[in-house]
Homo-oligomer: A and B are copies of this chain.
Amino acid sequence: MLSVPLRTREIHLESRPDGWPTPDNFKLAEVDLPVLDDGQVLVANRYMSVDPYMRGRMNDVKSYVAPFQIDTPLDGGAVGEVIASASNDVAVGATVLHGLGWREHAVLDAGKVTVVDTSLAPESAYLGALGMTGLTAWGGLLHAARFKPGDAVFVSGAAGAVGAVVGQIAKASGASRVIGSAGSPEKVARLKELGFDAAFDYHDGPVSASLKKAAPDGIDVYFDNVGGEHLEAALSSLNLYGRVAMCGAISQYNSTEPSPAPRNLALLIGKRLNVRGFLVGEYADKSAEFAEQMAGWLADGSVTRDETVREGLDQAAQAFIDLLGGANTGKMLVKL
Binding site for B on A (CB under 8 A): 63-64, 227, 231, 246-249, 252, 258-279, 282
Interchain nearest-CB distance for A294 vs B (Å): 22
Give CA–CA (A275, B245) in the complex, Å.
11
Interchain CB contact under 8 A, B262 and A268: no
Q: A246-B269, A267-B277, A272-B277 known; 17 other A-B pairs, CB under 8 Å?
A: A231-B265, A246-B265, A249-B269, A259-B266, A260-B261, A261-B262, A261-B263, A261-B265, A262-B265, A269-B277, A269-B278, A269-B279, A270-B277, A270-B279, A272-B278, A272-B282, A274-B274
Q: Which of B258, B271, B276 is the one whose CB lies under 8 Å from A268?
A: B276
Contacts of A227 in B (CB 8 A): 265-266
B261 near A268: Cβ-Cβ < 8 Å: no
Given contact pairs A261-B265, A265-B231, A279 touches B272 in the complex (Cβ within 8 A):
yes
Q: What is the CB-to-nearest-CB distance from A229 to chain B, in angstroms, rounded to a whole number?
A: 12
Q: Determine how close the nearest CB of chain B comes to the CB of A299; give it in whole angstroms.
A: 32
The 8 Å CB contact of A276, one of B64, B260, B263, B274, is B274
Expressed in whole angstroms, the Cα–Cα distance for A64 and B272 within the complex equals 10
The chain B residue with its CB closest to the CB of A241 is B282
> Is the pair A275, B278 in contact by a Cβ cutoff of 8 Å?
no
Report yes or no: A252 in contact with B266, Cβ–Cβ below 8 A: yes
The 6 closest A-B pairs by CB, nearest first: A268-B277, A258-B263, A261-B261, A269-B277, A64-B270, A275-B275
A-B contact pairs, 26 of them (CB 8 A): A64-B271, A227-B266, A246-B265, A246-B266, A246-B268, A247-B269, A249-B269, A252-B266, A259-B263, A259-B266, A260-B261, A261-B265, A262-B265, A266-B277, A268-B277, A269-B278, A269-B279, A270-B277, A270-B279, A271-B277, A272-B279, A272-B282, A274-B275, A274-B277, A275-B275, A275-B276
Closest to A281 in B: B272
CA distance A227 to B265 in the complex (A): 9
Cβ of A275: which chain B residues have Cβ within 8 Å of it? 268, 274-276
Please give, as numbers and ranges, the residues of chain B lying within 8 Å of A260 by CB-CB distance: 261, 263
Task: A275 to B282: give the CA distance in the assembly, Å.
Answer: 17
**Bound CA–CA A266/B273 (angstroms):** 17
Interface centre among A246, A259, A267, A282 (most CB of B within 10 A): A246
Q: In the complex, which residues of chain B have a beta carbon less than 8 angstroms from the beta carbon of A261?
A: 260-263, 265
User: In whole angstroms, what is the CA distance A272 to B246 when docked?
Assistant: 9
Chain B nearest CB from A163 CB (Å) reads: 15
Residue from A227, A252, A274, A275 having most chain B Cβ neighbours under 10 A: A275
User: Closest CB-CB distance, A132 to chain B, in whole Å?
Assistant: 15
Q: For A270, give the chain B residue with the smallest CB separation.
A: B64
Question: CB distance B277 to A63 under 8 Å?
Answer: no
Identity of the chain B residue whose Cβ is nearest the Cβ of A247 in the assembled complex: B269
Chain B: minimal CB distance from A67 (Å) = 13
Say how far A276's CB is from chain B's closest CB, in angstroms: 5
**Of all chain B residues, which has the CB nearest A232?**
B261
Most buried by B among A246, A248, A269: A269
